[in-house]
Amino acid sequence: MVQTTPLADRFGRIATDLRVSLTDRCNLRCEYCMPAEGLDWLPTDDVLTDDEVVRLVTIGVEHLGIREVRFTGGEPLIRRGLVGIVERTHALGVETSLTTNGLGLERTAAALAAAGLDRVNVSIDSIRPETFAAVTRRDRLHDVVAGLRAAHAAGLGPVKLNAVLLRGVNDDQAPELLRWAVEHGYQLRFIEQMPLDAQHGWSRTEMVTADEIQRLLEKEFTLEPAEEPRGSAPAELFTVDGGPATVGIIASVSRPFCGDCDRVRLTADGQVRNCLFAREESDLRGAMRSGASDEEVADRWVTAMAGKRAGHGIDDPTFLQPDRPMSAIGG
């Protein structure tokens, strides 16, 4: 019988939610994430193979108490082995989900559902084609909408939407986006823009805060605090016009939820990050490729988590943005 050691830090938090980046590549160029010309992608040999991804996920589940696995990117739908990775992860008996920009979801939703994927989170910052194209630098809103329909039809629900409001770009469209989500049965979450862009252009003064988002929505809807879901879900939930529909607001910057964090991240090149904003990583890929046993890899992972800081420190004047942008870390 495999002995389980929890991924605990010195503040008593235990990580049970694993975010696995499958690629740093993306087929959009969202202005709050990367420049128009894209980035220097990881060399192919540096990226974990399908077998290596599954091995690390298995170690996390069987040795370290991981109970939820979410696949991210970059854009995970461009990973050729995605369906097989999902199927093998589902066989471990954990909840599996996917965060995606929705491009390609129309043709893959049914296969992902058959492989055991439980649900999807889709990023969509506007339902106006011209605004969507301005934010993402791609005229692909119709593909995202088609992907959402396919995900819903495949039973990958509840289908959740993630939206970031940018001042002067789409911050006037929050009620419109919520109304559309409610009409189509999707669960919308607004997320404060975080300092994870490759250009390091994030500005606190330009960020649309959670309080602002709530005020924008309350111009057209009645919002009441809703019962929070189990676990450490970061969204503050509100019922919309009495329910049953809800909307979430994630105040990652202005009201951080670090004290309840139960997440750990694995980058596409096999590095453990104990915090989204960590500036240190622990190399599991190198250990695996050097012949380390599952137990040795697990021990290295435990050590990496033990050093997790109390919070991300964005409010600290000495805060430094991570070297890797969001596309290379994985959400």
What pLDDT sits at residue 321? 58
Beta-carbon contacts of 192 under 8 Å, excluding residues fewer than 6 positions away, are 164, 207, 208, 209, 210, 213, 250, 251, 252, 253, 254
pLDDT tens-place string over residues 102-161? 999 999 999 999 999 999 999 999 999 999 999 999 999 999 999 999 999 999 989 999
pLDDT at 317 over 60: no
Mean of pLDDT values over 46-53: 97
Structure tokens, 213: 């988002």
What pLDDT sits at residue 256? 72
Q: What residues are paired with 20 via a beta bridge?
A: 71, 266
- Confidence class of residue 326 from pLDDT cuts 50, 70 and 90? low
Measured CA to CA in angstroms, residue 142 lies from 131, 179, 251 at distances of 13, 18, 29
What pLDDT sits at residue 108? 98
pLDDT at 312 over 70: no
Smallest Cα–Cα separation from 281: which of 289, 293, 271, 290?
A: 271
Residues in the chain: 331
What pLDDT sits at residue 200? 60
Mean of pLDDT values over 63-71: 97
What pLDDT sits at residue 328? 63
Average pLDDT, the chain: 90
Smallest Cα–Cα separation from 307: which of 15, 8, 5, 64?
A: 8
Quote the crossing angle between the two packed helices 82-90 and 50-64, to the nearest 10°.
Answer: 20
Lowest mean pLDDT among 56-70, 191-205, 295-309: 191-205
pTM of structure = 0.91
pLDDT at 261 over 70: yes
- Confidence class of residue 275 from pLDDT cuts 50, 70 and 90? confident
What pLDDT sits at residue 1? 54
Measured CA to CA in angstroms, residue 40 lies from 22, 86, 114, 295 at distances of 16, 27, 34, 34
What pLDDT sits at residue 203? 66
What pLDDT sits at residue 315? 56
